[in-house]
Structure 1
Amino acid sequence: MQTETLDIDTSRRRFVDLTSAVRDFCAERGPDAGGLCNVFVPHATAGIAVIETGSGSDHDLIDAIERLLPRDDRYRHAHGSPGHGADHVMPGLVSPSVTIPVAGGEPLLGTWQSVVLIDLNRDNHRRSVRLSFVSG
């Protein structure tokens, strides 16, 4: 398995497009590389999604998560900023990882699909994202 870690600052954005980094990582495996690329965020309050970006879907996803997980005092996990418990529930809705098939050194994403990091946590703005490639 080949792996690389991205360090990302989410202090100014809650939605980070990782597609270019994933494409570059897969291309570095070589033009004949085939297998699986896993994108994983090892944090209890962030997730990885495959979604269309730039058409408003990115903002719609954030809005939907915030409607489903209001930032208030209903959560048992109650440390940190108000509503921080919602941050710990979010990875149950937006998985901490996705796995993408790769052929010819290219991730086989659909025309409008992008790989994104979702981070609504206001208490931690430093994120690591691990890219891993398994040949197949």
Structure 2
Amino acid sequence: MAGTFTTRTINIATGAAETMHDLTNACSAFLREAAHRRSGLLNVFTPHATSGLAIIETGADSDDDLLAALRGVLPADDHWGDRHSGPGHGSGHVLPALVPPHATLPVVEGELVLGASQSVVLVNTDRDSPERQVQLSFLG
């Protein structure tokens, strides 16, 4: 049987603050429709120069800790070379080097495989972009 490829774009309202948005339920809902109990791979991708995807525990302050760590490593100040949207914007363009814009995850019998307490999370530190897109693709 030949493999199938199914993809969908979802829109995420991130607002005007740095944020982490849990995508785990959206990924599982997509797989219920696309995987049909098949095994394969889920690729999650955000086509933005200032966003990334993380696999992290949420709800136990790990998400706040990640944002705090990113503020420490990538301060939104005026020392960045990229200033096309004003001071501090350049730090967001370095974010995908530390938090990549993609993740590929195993799917077994139609279910997303994550470890205990792991979630798929969109990380957005760009306060100038209140909406983001995420591309979900299943190959199975």
TM-score (norm 1): 0.95
In structure 2, the CA distance between the partners of 1:81 and 1:122, relative to structure 1 (3 Å rule), is: farther
Give the CA deviation at 1:12.
Answer: 5.6
Give the one of 31, 40, 45 matched to 2:45: 40
Using the alignment, how far apart are the partners of 2:113 and 2:24 within structure 1? 11
Counterpart residue number, 2:79: 74
Give the one of 62, 65, 68 matched to 2:67: 62
Using the alignment, how far apart are the partners of 2:22 and 2:34 within structure 1? 21
In structure 2, the CA distance between the partners of 1:85 and 1:30, relative to structure 1 (3 Å rule), is: closer
In structure 2, the CA distance between the partners of 1:71 and 1:30, relative to structure 1 (3 Å rule), is: closer
User: 1:43-82 CA deviation, whole Å, 9 max, x = no partner?
Assistant: 0000001000000000000000010001111111012142
Counterpart residue number, 2:123: 118
Using the alignment, how far apart are the partners of 1:27 and 1:104 within structure 2? 10
Amino acid at match of 1:102: V
Counterpart residue number, 1:6: 10
Amino acid at match of 1:63: A
Amino acid at match of 1:127: R
40-49 or 80-89, larger mean C-alpha shift: 80-89
Contact preservation (8 Å) 1:9, 1:127: yes
Give the total of aligned pairs. Answer: 135
Counterpart of 1:28 in 2: which secondary structure?
A: helix
In structure 2, the CA distance between the partners of 1:81 and 1:11, relative to structure 1 (3 Å rule), is: farther
Give the CA deviation at 1:30.
Answer: 4.4
Using the alignment, how far apart are the partners of 1:81 and 1:90 within structure 2? 17
Contact preservation (8 Å) 2:16, 2:128: no
Cα RMSD after superposing both structures: 1.1
TM-score (norm 2): 0.92
Using the alignment, how far apart are the partners of 1:31 and 1:100 within structure 2? 17
Using the alignment, how far apart are the partners of 1:46 and 1:128 within structure 2? 10
